[in-house]
Structure 1
Amino acid sequence: MNLEFGGFIMQGAPLTDEIAISLSQLIDDSQATNRRDPSHSDLDFIVQKAELWIVDPKNEGRNVGKAKRLRAVLYWALENDIKKGEKLVKSVISIVKASGGFRKDSINYTGQEQIENLMQAFKSTGYGLTLNGEIQPVILDNLSEKEMSEALHNYIRRAKQGVEDAALVAGTGKDLMEAVAAHVILKKMGSYPSQANFPTLLGQAFMMVGVATSYYKKDSSNPEPATHRFEKSLYELACSINKLRNKERTGHGRPFLSNLSQEESISAIESIGVVAEYLLNKLELNIKTT
Structure 2
Amino acid sequence: MANQPPLTDAIIVAIARLVDDSQIEKREPTHSDIEFQIDQAKLTCADPGRLSSKPVGKSKRVRGVLNWALSNNPSAGEALVSGIISTVQGYGGFRSTSSNYCGSEAIANLTAVFATQGWDLSSDGSLQPRLLDSLTGKALTEALQTYADRARRGSLDSPLLAGTAKDLLEATAAHALMQRWGSYPSTSNFPTLLGQAFTALGLATPSDPVVTGEPAHKRMERAAYDLGCALNALRNKVGTGHGRPWISTITPAQARFSIESMGNIASLMLDALTPSRCP
Amino acid in the other structure paired with 2:106:
Q
Asked if the contact 2:75/2:156 (under 8 Å) is kept, the reply is no
Deviations 1:87-129 (A, max 9, x none): 1101101111111112222211212332222122212323322
Maintained 8 Å contact 1:166/1:176: no
Q: Which moved more, 1:171-180 or 1:156-165?
A: 156-165
Counterpart check, 1:135 vs 2:124: no
Report the equivalent of 1:3. Answer: none
SS in 1 for 2:203: coil
CA 1:132–1:88 in 2, change beyond 3 Å: closer, same or farther? Answer: same
Describe the SS at the equivalent of 2:128: strand
**Count, aligned residues:** 276
The answer to whether the aligner puts 1:264 opposite 2:264 as a matched pair is no
CA distance in 2, matches of 1:154, 1:66: 29
Equivalent in 40, 45, 51 of residue 60 of structure 1: 51
1:273 and 2:271 correspond:
no
Rate the CA distance shift 1:46–1:63 in 2: closer, same or farther, 3 A: same
Residue from 82, 85, 93 that aligns with 1:93: 85
- Structure 1's consecutive aligned runs of 4 or more residues displaced over 6 angstroms after TM superposition are none
1:229 is matched with: 219
The change in CA–CA distance for 1:90 and 1:198 in structure 2 (over 3 A counts) is: same
Give, in angstroms, the shift of residue 40 of structure 1.
Answer: 1.3
Moved more, 143-152 or 209-218: 143-152
Unaligned runs of 5+ in 1: 1-8
Alignment correspondent of 2:232: 242
What CA distance in whole angstroms lies between the structure 1 residues aligned with 2:122 and 2:243? 24
User: Is contact 2:131-2:163 (8 Å) kept?
Assistant: yes
| CA distance 1:251–1:148, shift in 2 (3 Å) | closer
How high is the TM-score relative to the length of structure 1?
0.85
Report SS of the residue matched to 1:136.
Answer: strand
1:46 to 30, 37, 41: 37
Give per-residue Cα distances to partners, 1:11-67, cap 9 Å, x unaligned.
Answer: 6321112211111111111233x2111111211111122222222221221433211
Cα distance change on mapping 1:63 and 1:112 into 2, 3 Å: same
Deviations 1:144-202 (A, max 9, x none): 86654443233223222333445211111210111221222222233333333221221
Aligned-partner Cα distance in 2 for 1:156–1:106: 38
Between the two proteins, what is the percent identity of the paired residues? 46
Residues 5-20 of structure 1: pairs in structure 2 closer than 5 A: 10=2, 12-20=4-12
CA RMSD in angstroms, aligned pairs only? 2.4
- C-alpha distance in 2, partners of 1:165/1:253? 12
State the shift of 1:131 in Å: 1.4
Is 1:255 the equivalent of 2:260?
A: no
Q: Separation in 2 of the partners of 1:46 and 1:70? A: 10
Bigger drift between 94-103 and 113-122 goes to 113-122
Query: Hey, what does 2:26 align to over in structure 1?
Result: 35
SS in 2 for 1:167: coil
Paired residues of 1:11 and 1:165 also in contact (CA < 8 A): no
Worse-matched range after superposition: 191-200 or 67-76: 191-200
- Any conservation in 1 of the 2:14–2:110 contact (CA below 8 Å)? yes
Native 8 Å contact 1:25 1:67 kept in 2: yes
The change in CA–CA distance for 1:278 and 1:10 in structure 2 (over 3 A counts) is closer
